[in-house]
Structure 1
């Protein structure tokens, strides 16, 4: 089955529509580059699902930090978001979306980020957990990123961090850029641990994340053969995926596709993505008057403000009445003949 003939189910279309109706062109475009930086677990996840997962992790950490630092009996009832949902308003939606994008730029798991971000703010004297928009604002973002990246590097030294998504299993390899990127990450992680045979056996034999020819090239035949001889673990069972489960996270996100971009031109789903986003753009333009709904709302609000301003100015200006009266002749001197 060609990529262009892969069916798109209704829930997926609805997620694309919700995103398109709430995001600016800038935020949609960023999803393309974020696909190459976000943590590997999220690279095949629709951004709506990823933002929802981020919101869930945010809420869990919010309540846990509240119980530990403020009041244990209040923690369970804390909503963290307006009306208890990150989708309750456009403001809350945008704040959570941008916060999730900030985490994706750093390439961190959402639970790890939230845990350390809350700790960062509380140590700086905040009297309550940070709101989503405070995580990425210009004042907080640089020191927060520095703090969390240092923590992440230390975490990686202590733990073997790789993704176990079936999309990275060799049985589902389809030459996708993200699959190559994860293999590069696996090689780097093994190298940092002195190419221990046990780790080589784990990623090649047990987890099936790295092909043997790549392992031979990166670690040397002798070391790989030794690893395979010592391997005692059972290979992970293959989880065969449907073609649509290999779609990248930026697929069908309005404004994310760009034909001249290398990521899009090399993507096996690029042609299908272009057609879907063109159809989506037409629908949004008909509904909002612009393919960028945020820009359309801004123009509409500007027109409303100008109209109200002119109305107020018209009401406030005094009316001028010109009374035409005949000039008085009292006291006039009649000129001499």
Structure 2
């Protein structure tokens, strides 16, 4: 019998509850602050979905760097970090989340950030036996200023090379809901075309006709009329000779329009700039209250994320006592019987 698939909203709710149980409130609050900084592709991912995306990019690049710089055979099983370990190891999971959030601070696609971080590590030595683990990507504190300069320089070089794409369906014209991320993406593309002097007809073809992400009016309202009309004429002529394959529109799930911080409860502050400009605020508050209550019921604590560090401390203390008990038992077992008598 086939297992019934859960709907996307149910999956997202489960991920959010796990996030509340497995992270501190400080870590979760950071997601709201990062929302306007992170690359557009990830702004509608749940935090755990973003972690998985970051991990996959890291594993692919780690394996390739091992093949290119150390040994091709070794690269077949080299991943640098493993999903199962991260799933069951609190420390590994926390380090991955911290590494992903640092990448979000840079506002670039994860593969670009990770590749630049690996290349920065190679500057120190081209005869490496190992590459940085996720929590080591940013380098040490002494190298931090050079690391930031290096990574941002690489990102600006890539931006200057041409047009960037995002694939998330939330940016399709037909899914536009006046959400901050959608508006910021459109503004970014306009500014990018202007700053890099990219031919306007190329941008119109790509984002209006091929990707179906930016309406013509957005370009019309942000460029001189004569330039816009000339670019539109070139784009339409090009489309006649090289038409675009129109893809079937697939209905979007409601959860695919939820920003990363949606319903994380701890992130919802109505007076903050991020929340006050978000049309999803009422639903975010209501859903967040419901989910944090469910998370609390799971472990018997009303505010799981706020209690997270204390729970870790209690678990460490419990494991320490367990080790001491086992060591004491082992010591007694090794004492000669006549000494015990």
TM range, smaller chain: 0.7 to 0.9
How do 1:22-101 and structure 2 match up within 5 A? 22-81=22-81, 85-101=85-101
Specify which of 159, 163, 168 is matched with residue 162 of structure 2.
Answer: 159
Is 1:199 the counterpart of 2:202? The answer is yes
- TM-score normalised by length of structure 2: 0.79
How do 1:248-267 and structure 2 match up within 5 A? 248-267=259-278
Q: Do the aligned residues in 1 keep the contact of 2:179 with 2:279 (CA within 8 Å)?
A: yes
- CA-CA distance at 1:307 after TM superposition: 9.0
Give a deviation string over 1:6-59, Cα, whole Å, max 9, x none: x97332222112211111111100101211111111111112111101101111
Judge which range, 202-211 or 86-95, deviates more: 202-211
Q: Do the aligned residues in 1 keep the contact of 2:21 with 2:304 (CA within 8 Å)?
A: no
C-alpha distance in structure 1 between counterparts of 2:201 and 2:289, whole Å: 49
C-alpha distance in structure 2 between counterparts of 1:238 and 1:141, whole Å: 46
- CA-CA distance at 1:303 after TM superposition: 6.8
Q: Do the aligned residues in 2 keep the contact of 1:259 with 1:265 (CA within 8 Å)?
A: yes
Structure 1 unmatched ranges of 5 or more: 1-6, 312-337
Q: Would the alpha carbon gap of residues 131 and 224 (structure 1) be closer, same or farther in structure 2, given more than 3 Å must change?
A: same
Is 1:211 the counterpart of 2:224? The answer is no
Structure 2 unmatched ranges of 5 or more: 1-6, 326-341
Is 1:129 the counterpart of 2:131? The answer is yes
Q: Do the aligned residues in 1 keep the contact of 2:9 with 2:254 (CA within 8 Å)?
A: no
CA RMSD of aligned residues (A): 2.7
Secondary structure in 2 matching 1:218: coil
Give a deviation string over 1:102-121, Cα, whole Å, max 9, x none: 11110111111111211111
C-alpha distance in structure 1 between counterparts of 2:16 and 2:271, whole Å: 22
- CA-CA distance at 1:283 after TM superposition: 3.5
Judge which range, 132-141 or 183-192, deviates more: 132-141
C-alpha distance in structure 1 between counterparts of 2:282 and 2:8, whole Å: 14
User: Which position in structure 2 is the counterpart of 1:228?
Assistant: 232
Judge which range, 28-37 or 125-134, deviates more: 125-134
Q: Do the aligned residues in 2 keep the contact of 1:166 with 1:172 (CA within 8 Å)?
A: yes
Q: Would the alpha carbon gap of residues 262 and 128 (structure 1) be closer, same or farther in structure 2, given more than 3 Å must change?
A: same
Is 1:169 the counterpart of 2:180? The answer is no
User: Which position in structure 1 is the counterpart of 2:254?
Assistant: 243
**Which structure would you say has the larger Rg?**
1
User: Which position in structure 2 is the counterpart of 1:182?
Assistant: 185
- CA-CA distance at 1:94 after TM superposition: 0.7
User: Which position in structure 1 is the counterpart of 2:304?
Assistant: 291
Specify which of 249, 273, 283 is matched with residue 284 of structure 2.
Answer: 273
Residue correspondences, number = 303
Q: Would the alpha carbon gap of residues 80 and 262 (structure 1) be closer, same or farther in structure 2, given more than 3 Å must change?
A: same
C-alpha distance in structure 2 between counterparts of 1:179 and 1:28, whole Å: 22
- TM-score normalised by length of structure 1: 0.80
- CA-CA distance at 1:136 after TM superposition: 4.1
- CA-CA distance at 1:86 after TM superposition: 2.7
Judge which range, 96-105 or 162-171, deviates more: 162-171
